[in-house]
Chain A
Amino acid sequence: MPNDQMILHRKTAPEFKTVDHVNLVKPVHQKLDNGCNVFCFNSGDQELVRIEWVFSNLRFNPAKPLLNAATVNMLTEGTTSLSSTEIADKIDFYGAFLQVDYGHDHSQVILYSLNKHLHHTLPVVLDILTDSIFPARELETFVRNQQQKLQVSLQKNDFMARRLYNKALYGDTIYGLCAECDDYNALNREDMQAHFKEMIQPSNCTLIMAGKIEKDTQELVTNTFDKAWTNAEKKADISQPELQSSTEHFYFTKKPDALQSAIRMGRRIINRTHPDFPALQVLNTVLGGYFGSRLMANIREDKGYTYGIGSGMTSLKQTGSIFIATEVGADVCKAAITEIEKEVNKLRAELIPEEELSLVRNFMLGSLLGSLENVFSHADKFKNLYFSGLDYDYYDRYIEIVKTVSAAELKSLAEQYLDSSQFYKVIVGKY
């Protein structure tokens, strides 16, 4: 006779546990004499490290829309002592990876390096941060190549839809940036050097390192970026002009040959600093934040209109937004929009059934746990908090809200924030 354990109940799900807490690795903080804040995450077995130098973007100048992005993207293109080739060669030779990354609020230089090669790779970064010269020849190449890439991107409906959407929500600001090929021609070295001097200085930098960082590694980093790196006379102006949302809410760009239409719709709402943010994330997950979401279940899994649809929330320094994005068969574009609006309105009209809500709670907590894959992810979680001016209490509160927010509270949040008649709507393709 098989014992009870061996009788398989294939129709019944095994017992499971819910996640009730998450252990976050917290950083050690140190402020260097030059004003640079350093945060250090020490964990992991591999002898490697990721170091990020994060800078606030400077005040956006609508007359020079690409200046900030180009200055950051060209940081690896040459210094007084190292050519673009030499920088690339040194970094590659030591098996490191050096990236520059331009974001809406911050830009960063990221170095991935094995610990044993740090004494070769760090000086290259120091040189870049203190002495970039934006050589004319490299700028010319940069401009030409970016223009070509932009031409290709402009043929992609989802890229077009994203641009138009941002422009409508944020206007002529750093968030609404909608560069044309011609804007690249306005870039010049003098502007870039001035921008570089003001932006890339220690008092405008947060240095975040994560990996296997023993005392000597930490000292190597802080020693390299302390005395040898000084501030400019002018303090970085990181204020931003006010966002200007457009009064027009509907945008349609016709592409006669389109097989699919890109749809993007949504609106500005709050960012992470607002107490409603975690609960809205629950609402967003229900709507379109996971594979089993209502939008996926209806528009992909029931109707087959699309390969994928989702909703998301962004949290920026000045604002936040919730959006829905998809590419659907050109012939079903109108029908898809009707269904999207139906799903949004349903959140305002009906309570989310408890079974669905408990699934979403568990999913979100599991997903939080799963997002902490390695020491880099712990540093990423910290960045979410630090740059929003929040404390680690935020995640305790987040977990609590995900576990306990009620269907009635979610409905009232939907009524407050998700009025689809106020949504911006962008369609590229056929309508």
Chain B
Amino acid sequence: MRLQVVLPLAACLSPVVAIYSDEVNHIDFHHALLGAPSPDSTFFLKPSSSSNASLLYTISEKSIVGAVNPRDGSLIWRQDLGRFSSSPAGPGILRGLDGNSAVVSAAGDSISSWSAQDGKLIWESRLDGGAVADLELLELHDASESPDSRDAIALTSSDGTGVVRRLDGDLGKTKWEYKDTSGDMAFQVSSSPTEIFYISLQPALLKGYRIKVTALDPVTGRQSRHVILNSESDVTSQESILFVGANTASPLIVWTDKSLKTLKVNVIGTKHVTSLPIDNASGLDIGEITVHAPRKLNSLAHFLVHYKTKSGAWAEVYHVDMKSSAVTKAYNLPYLQGQSVVATNNINANVYFTRMTDAEAVVVSSASHGILGRWKADVSTSDPALHAVADVVTKGKSVAVRSAVIHESGDWSLIRNGHTEWTRPEALVHTVAAAWAVEEDLEDLAHELEIEGHESLVGAYIHRVKRHLRDLQYFPEWLKDLPKRIVTSILSDEVSNLDSFGVAQSIILATDKGRVYALDTGRHGIIKWAIQAEKTSDWDVKAVLANPGLAEVFLGDGSSVRVKSSTGEILAKSPPTDVKLQTIATINQPAGLSASQNGAIGIRGDGTLVAPLDILSGFLVTTTSDGRLLGWARKDSKFPVWDFVPPAGQKVVKAVSRPSHDPVASIGKVLGDRSVLYKYLNPNLVLVTAVNEQEHIAAFYLLDGVSGKVLHSVSRAGVDPTQPITSAISENWFAYSFFGDALEESSAKGYQLVVSELYESPLVNDRGPLGSAGNFSSLHNERGDSLPLPHVVSQSFVIAEPISHMAVTQTRQGITIRQLLCVLPSSNAIVGIPRHVLDPRRPVDRDPTSAEAEEGLFRYAPFLEFDGRWYLSHSRDVAGIKTVLSQPTLLESTSLIFAFGGDIFGTRATPSQAFDILGKSFSKLQLVLTVVALTGGVMFLAPMARAKQVNMLWKST
């Protein structure tokens, strides 16, 4: 039995217009983020032996491996390791070697090798024996192997058992493995030109650890010898060891004594431990000691120890004698106040250290203390640097350096010779909540207008005249700008500057790292300001609420932070309360002419309210942690009005309501024969998703939020509860999506999208029980029966991929057709499905009648293929999106879209085309030229026509 794949005709029928390729980066912006780079796994690397330019590779704290172009900071490729491994990924490791065409990453128990050039998988391997503790690439390689692939040495550890494996560089197969079952704590692996070392910590008799170094044969993996260093008095945990070098001519282990007075250095494989006194001239407590050594076999055996105190830092450079393994101090970099980071790299055998401080950046050679290059530091950022990697190039005597600096906030920037070339706002990857900022001056005008509306006729007139006189002060400025505006409007891309139509709005973001940002969506999403509101790595942000001129961030502990939305200045902080909040309900209610009232109410885990609903005239619905739903009315935070308990086994997982801004342009739907189907427009609709995880059932209930009455319910078996189940509701329709398994062979398997429309009656021109009533009550009416039930029409579609989040576009008047915004996590895209495609009244198994065709209905096809033109993110790879916000603008055609959660993406959606904007295709120059040409034509023809008319009059008689 065969069926040809029926592609929907939607594409050819829909009036949807996709983004023009010349509008990319003009109306949309995208921050492709990785997350804060992991300091140990960030490096410059030439992607292949043939290429000259190197790329910047990192694995972020979000376990995303990425390659960044050091020239402009653009992302070349990235791979999310968390996406493919089921195990929770710990801190990932990424290793690369010059001359190797691959970078090897490890997260959890899986190791994968990626092509350095394009990020494609070379091999992946899941190792049994616990999580990967350390990973190194072997620089030495057999002559028989291909020159651009290096084997990897991986160490896995799980309670007392450490396994060292050598993995083939081309296939990822294990060449040999060495198992250590002695119960020692597996720590790291290292390698020298001749041997591979397995370093473990052996518990000493009383306390502390002795460092055990086991030398392994690189070819067979057999243990050749082992050395135990007596370090039990110094080493109490893994953190006590400062550094284990790898891939150097003389790999080192460095640790200190407990009082931070002596530095102990051991060349791996030898028994000798060199003790070096720490020369602490500043007298301050040493906070942090870091060791920087080159990671290359042929480089000089020099290393740098960087000491950091609370207020400053200094560094000392040591040389290791290869033959005697003696360590001698060469020189030191002086103590300087302020922050200081050091990066190391080598060109052939020479080792260079780059030190960046508050005032300057200097480059020194490891051999002598002479400064090779010195640049003034860029003082544009106040974000302290935490770590840096550098790439030094020498040209004759002079050097140039570019260094990628990881800042405290998590941002990543590249500094070339003292100038910041780019900054990647990696900290935005942690965004958990956002809100559109509300401008203050807009509110001012609304306020003034309100005053005028309330005053007497004369008073209002005087007020208005005064206001206009006041506005006159801006007139000369406006006049001055006028010629410039006219010229630019003719020459510029966009015909009119739309900023004044609310197309450029600010958005306030809060991250779970304690930072608050404001982005300007009108200017490519640049950061207007960023503040560290709280020094924490786990800021429990529940909601961001924007009021005119300010934004408030609500936290799970009941506290809140209020910032000025134009500058980021912290205005107030409220102390935490003793209740633990589950969520915050933000309330936005229209109050007065154009102002709206905002409020927030904390909700506990059991669904109860922290405070009564004083500011609210409506109702509130909360979900409880045990899977129920509670309905609340005003001024009673103790007892819910109603309680919705789903059938046994089911748990409420989600409840959505209509957006606070959801205007309805038409109360009915006009059919092809001019009859009307009246929409069921209830502002109190709540769509509830309940799931039975054991029996794989998903049920959707449509409730009235005031009375708690179930208006409609539907249940579906064979739904995967672990896959995203999302829903959205707007106007008189709702949609939901899930993965539906084939319960039997005759049913379909795949992701499904169901759309339902609500009407007052199944009959046309009929309002059912409501009759000609102008309003209705959720609770009671004259006839005694309560709220009438809607007539529900549904259609379901099979879609090709899961939807992880749904939203609906919002426009000012609701005249523009809506789009269902869907986040597609598996293809990293955001798609806006036009509503008329999701019309459940599409005729099934027949072609539409002429009346239906006039209405815009076309034949139903069970498979809904997402048309390429629906993709708001077009060819961008928009990853990790958790939430999509939509905001109306002053232009009815345009809705602002902002997506966050991983990447940051913003665009303008025009679901019914940009009918109130002159687009780029409208050329003012062409218009002017046409008018000129026509005028010329008229001037040329007018005398001729006149002569002819005169002749006609004379000759006719």
A and B interact physically: no
Chain B residues within CB distance 8 Å of chain A = none
